[in-house]
């Protein structure tokens, strides 16, 4: 066989197909397949883009919608009719001392009221400027207090300045279509220690707040005799300034007069306008004394700021008028307001007529006070009774009517926004420091006021619930209007809708229900049932808001939202929302926390919800079921009983090994000393936190006892009574201290600038709850009944004696009391919940 020849392929000959080569038809299929896949990817991409756009715009819509919810009011009918505070519907309450932030003033319960008030200053003193107007702790008055105030028709207040006392009295007379008349009487007397009778300037004013016109009427060249005016709500009116006299029947005293007539940009500017108008060019020239220059109101020129863009005020008519009278003590002056629609007025409410009316109202007040509180029958001295009347009167005289917009923010709002305009009729904690509404304070306020005037309580609660938004949230601090806002530091103005406050209004509602049950035939209690029917839709939403937004990590546990997030500067991050501010909680805020006080508030609230629902014939079973679950002592023990502390406790991510230390700062070599960075106090954590009980013994530990969740035979009650009575823990001769002396944070600062607040001092609201609970357990059968009754007598006596003693010694009821000395401290006067001392005196729980 020969060799096989190699085959040569020319260029024209088709090549042999290789085994791995594919036919052309297959390639066309593959190309088509690739094209189909490409189209599929394109279609998917387009679909995704369309979906993304839809989702994007839906998210924008939802965010916009959710961002509006925080400022969307609740859709149910208002608890109070829109005209409920008008002169036509509520003439008795139309005018009142509803300006608690000033020493003396009156206004109507309407959004844009004509306001009246008084300023004063001592002439020829060492101080260039001692003008008094808004209540200020920095004025260092010896005291100012309503001695009597019935909340409706009259009030008597005593203001003790350095060397003289002003007694301010007012009486109202109902008549006509616009709330009737009222008269002020100001009596000035020098102190016995004053070397000579002081000369005082009183400045009475009226401001229309851009809602009306004011016209001045002069006599004897410089004396403003009266103001006439008109507003839509008041019609025509006249304010008459009578001349000063020594006494009711005596002749006119020598006085110098000034007046100011100008425009006001807002009520918060009234003090500044008067200050900027003062001039020393006037001469005080009594017939039997030397001539001296004194300070008086003159012309007012608004200050011009260099970059001011605000246009000139177009108004031509004055809306702010001041009448100044400068006179030597002693003297008495009356100011008379007369409504133009009061046609059948029997006489003017001045002189002896006013005295008769005032004495009649005082007598009625005294009779009513004894009928309600019975302090004489309990053996209290007249000085103790006078103190108790002042405590009640200061709360009534501290009722304010506010109107404006809160500043709020939710997680869906990039910036704070304005809440809808609204009105609030509420008591205030402190006329000097907290002259505005606080949600958890108000529940305590109304415990006292509901005993005196249930209608006032219904109206106050109705106003609070009419401020609720669609979610069921009520802003916990109400800063309504520029005048109120001017008294608040910027960091506290914005209210956030995830933040709660203890629902103490349920305590006041419980009191109203109790009155309805025991005195259903009395006229004062009859309106409560229809009031609850109007309130109930909002009350349900409010309760549901708490029960969904403040839940804890375990079933039937609860956690306060809104704790401070900056753990670097706080020794223990504050929980302002709980009302107990710097009381020790878990050192490292987290979603794992369980708060025992909130658990107890929810147990109390669910029980009251069940009672109200049953009373109204509404479904109540769910509320009753939740109440039974939350007040189950076994659940409470499982969630909050610390065997280590033998007390109820919060639970969370916690360590006790923390302290404040001065931070180390780097200084560049050669840097001038005045440019050194400030070394702050910052928190040092010496041991990592872990999930555990917080083990801080104090007010929070007592809540199952305070709100009477504990069964009378619970062994835990024995531990609580023992800790309460231990002087090394909570017991003091002045009341229960807020935090045990054995706690590491007892009386420790929370930051460089925050002294201890709820870390030792005695607070009257919690002590009231303690006395109330002791009264309950001391009158309920159980192994600890006798012990509870003994502690009740001691604690009640200690609190009453100390609050009374401090009032006599200092002239004030205080925000809190030193646990070592009993001295009053904090803001003053604090005639909010510290006035609950009256209920302890009366043993009304």
Residues in the chain: 845
Residue recorded with tokens 């001469």: 283
| Per-position DSSP letters for 20-81, written without gaps between them | T---HHHHHHHHHHHHHHHHHHHHHHHHHHHHHHHHHHHHHHHHHHHHHHTTPBP-SPPSS-
Catalytic residue among 139, 581, 718, 790: 581
Contact, 235 vs 341, CB < 8 A? yes
What is the torsion angle, in degrees rounded to the nearest 10, for the CA atoms of residue 727, residue 733, residue 737 and residue 740? -10
- Give the pair of three-digit tokens for residue 290: 């030397």
Which residue matches tokens 């028709």?
A: 153
Separation between Cα atoms, residue 722 and residue 705, nearest integer Å? 13
Beta strand 331-339 pairing with 235-241: antiparallel
Q: Which two tokens stand for residue 769?
A: 């709850």
Q: How far apart are the first and last CA of the chain?
A: 130
Catalytic residue among 163, 181, 815, 819: 815
Q: Which residue has the tokens 């009257």?
A: 764
Q: How far is CA 805 from each of CA 212, 393, 541, 734, rounded to the nearest angstrom? A: 47, 18, 44, 10
Closest by CA to 810, choosing from 823, 797, 799, 819, is: 823
Cα-Cα-Cα-Cα dihedral sign, residues 86, 90, 92, 98: negative
Q: What are phi and psi of 257, to 5 degrees?
A: -125, 145
**Cβ(356)–Cβ(203) under 8 Å?**
no
Query: Any idea what DSSP says for residue 759?
Result: S
Residue 793: in which H helix or E strand, if any?
A: helix 785-810
CB 587 within 8 A of CB 653: yes
Pairing of strands 223-231, 212-219: antiparallel
Active site residue 581: yes
- Nearest-Å Rg of the Cα atoms of the chain is 35
Distance CA 833, CA 691 (A): 35
How far apart CA 318 and CA 211 sit, in angstroms, is 11
d(CA 252, CA 243): 6
CA–CA gap between residue 809 and residue 830 (Å, rounded): 15
CA distance linking residue 338 with residue 311, whole number of Å? 36
How would you classify the pairing of strands 494-496 and 407-409? Answer: parallel
How deeply is 526 buried, as exposed, middle or buried, from its count of CB atoms within 10 A (0-12, 13-18, 19+)?
A: middle
**φ, ψ for residue 834, nearest 5 deg:** -65, -20
Nearest-angstrom CA–CA distance, 5 and 671: 98
Active site residue 268: no
Distances (CA, A) of 786 to 578, 660, 771: 32, 44, 14
Contact 652, 691 (CB under 8 A): yes
799 backbone φψ class: left, alpha, beta (φ>0; ψ -120 to 50):
alpha
Quick one: DSSP state of residue 123?
T
Which residues on neighbouring strands pair with residue 168, listed in sequence order?
157, 186
The runs of H, that is alpha helices, within 504-527 are: 505-518
Helix H segments across 570-632?
596-616, 621-630
- Closest Cα to residue 494, out of 433, 420, 409, 404? 409
* 163 CB-side CA count, 13 A: 16
Tell me what percent of the chain is helix, strand and coil, each rounded to the nearest 5: 35, 20, 45
How far apart are alpha carbons 229 and 209 in whole angstroms? 13
Active site residues per annotation: 581, 815
């Amino acid at each position: 066989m020969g060799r096989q020849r190699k085959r040569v392929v020319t260029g024209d000959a088709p090549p042999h197909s290789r085994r791995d080569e594919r036919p052309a038809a297959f390639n066309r299929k593959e190309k088509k397949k690739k094209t189909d896949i490409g189209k599929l990817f394109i279609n998917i991409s387009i679909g995704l883009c369309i979906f993304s756009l839809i989702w994007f715009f839906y998210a924008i819509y939802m965010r916009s919608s959710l961002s509006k919810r925080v400022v969307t009011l609740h859709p149910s009918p208002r608890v109070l009719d829109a005209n409920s505070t008008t002169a036509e519907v509520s003439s008795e309450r139309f005018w009142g001392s509803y300006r608690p932030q000033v020493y003396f003033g009156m206004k109507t319960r309407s959004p844009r009221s004509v306001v009246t008030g008084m300023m004063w200053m001592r002439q020829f003193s060492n101080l260039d400027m001692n003008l008094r107007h808004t209540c200020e702790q920095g004025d260092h008055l010896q005291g100012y207090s309503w001695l009597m105030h019935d909340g409706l028709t009259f009030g008597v207040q005593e203001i003790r300045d350095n060397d003289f006392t002003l007694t301010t009295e007012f009486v109202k007379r109902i008549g006509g279509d616009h709330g009737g008349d009222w008269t002020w009487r100001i009596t000035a007397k020098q102190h016995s220690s004053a070397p000579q009778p002081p000369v005082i300037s009183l400045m009475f004013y009226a401001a229309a707040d851009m809602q009306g016109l004011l016209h001045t009427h002069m006599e004897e060249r410089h004396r403003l005799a009266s103001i006439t005016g008109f507003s839509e709500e008041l019609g025509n009116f006249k304010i008459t300034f009578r001349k000063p006299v020594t006494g009711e029947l005596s002749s006119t005293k020598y006085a110098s007069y000034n007046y100011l007539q100008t425009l006001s940009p807002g009520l918060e500017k009234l003090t500044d306008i008067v200050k900027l108008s003062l001039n020393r060019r006037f001469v005080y020239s009594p017939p039997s004394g030397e001539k001296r220059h004194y300070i008086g109101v003159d012309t007012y020129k608004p200050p011009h700021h260099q970059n001011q863009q605000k246009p000139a005020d177009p108004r031509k008519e004055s809306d702010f008028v001041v009448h100044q009278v400068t006179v030597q003590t002693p003297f008495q002056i009356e100011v008379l307001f007369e409504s133009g629609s009061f046609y059948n007025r029997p006489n003017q409410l001045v002189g002896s007529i006013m005295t008769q009316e005032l004495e009649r109202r005082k007598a009625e007040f005294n009779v009513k006070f004894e009928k309600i509180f019975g302090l004489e029958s309990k053996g209290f001295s007249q000085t103790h009774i006078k103190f108790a009347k002042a405590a009640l009167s200061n709360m009534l005289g501290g009722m304010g009517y506010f109107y404006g917009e809160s500043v709020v923010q939710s997680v869906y709002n990039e910036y704070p926004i304005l809440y809808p305009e609204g009105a609030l009729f509420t008591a205030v904690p402190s006329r000097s420091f907290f002259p505005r509404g606080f949600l958890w304070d108000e529940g305590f306020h109304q415990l006292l006021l509901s005993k005196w005037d249930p209608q006032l309580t219904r109206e106050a609660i109705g106003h609070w619930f009419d401020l609720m938004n669609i979610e069921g949230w009520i802003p916990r601090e109400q800063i309504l209007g520029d005048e109120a806002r001017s008294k608040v530091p910027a960091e506290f103005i914005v209210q956030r809708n995830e933040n709660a406050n203890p629902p103490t209004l349920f305590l006041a509602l419980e009191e109203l229900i109790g009155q309805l049950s025991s005195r259903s035939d009395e006229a004062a209690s009859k309106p409560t049932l229809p009031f609850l029917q109007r309130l109930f839709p909002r009350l349900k939403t409010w309760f549901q808001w708490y029960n969904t937004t403040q839940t804890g990590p375990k079933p039937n546990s609860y956690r306060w939202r809104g704790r401070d997030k900056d753990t670097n500067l706080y020794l223990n991050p504050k929980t302002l929302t709980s009302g107990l501010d710097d009381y020790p909680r878990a050192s490292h805020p987290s979603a794992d926390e369980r708060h025992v006080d909130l658990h107890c508030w929810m147990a109390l609230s669910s029980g009251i919800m069940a009672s109200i629902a049953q009373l109204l014939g509404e479904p109540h079973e769910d509320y009753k079921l939740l109440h039974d679950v939350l007040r189950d002592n076994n659940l409470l023990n499982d969630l909050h009983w610390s065997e280590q502390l033998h007390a109820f406790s919060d639970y969370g991510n916690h360590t006790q090994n923390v302290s404040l230390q001065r931070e180390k700062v780097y200084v560049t070599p050669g840097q001038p000393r005045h440019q050194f960075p400030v070394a702050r106090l910052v928190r040092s954590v010496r041991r990592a936190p872990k999930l555990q009980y917080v083990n801080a013994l104090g007010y929070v530990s007592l809540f199952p006892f305070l709100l009477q969740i504990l069964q009378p035979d619970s062994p835990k009650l024995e531990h609580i009574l023992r800790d309460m009575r231990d002087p090394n823990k909570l017991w003091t001769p002045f009341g229960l201290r807020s935090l045990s002396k054995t706690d590491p944070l007892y009386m420790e600062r929370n930051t460089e600038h925050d002294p201890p607040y709820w870390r030792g001092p005695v607070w009257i609201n919690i002590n009231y709850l303690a006395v109330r609970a002791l009264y309950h357990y001391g009158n309920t059968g159980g192994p600890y009944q006798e012990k509870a009754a003994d502690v009740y007598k001691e604690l009640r006596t200690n609190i009453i004696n100390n609050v009374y003693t401090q009032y006599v010694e200092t002239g004030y009821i205080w925000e809190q009391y030193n646990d070592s000395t009993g001295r009053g401290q904090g803001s003053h006067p604090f005639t909010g919940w510290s006035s609950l001392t009256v209920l302890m005196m009366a043993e009304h729980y």
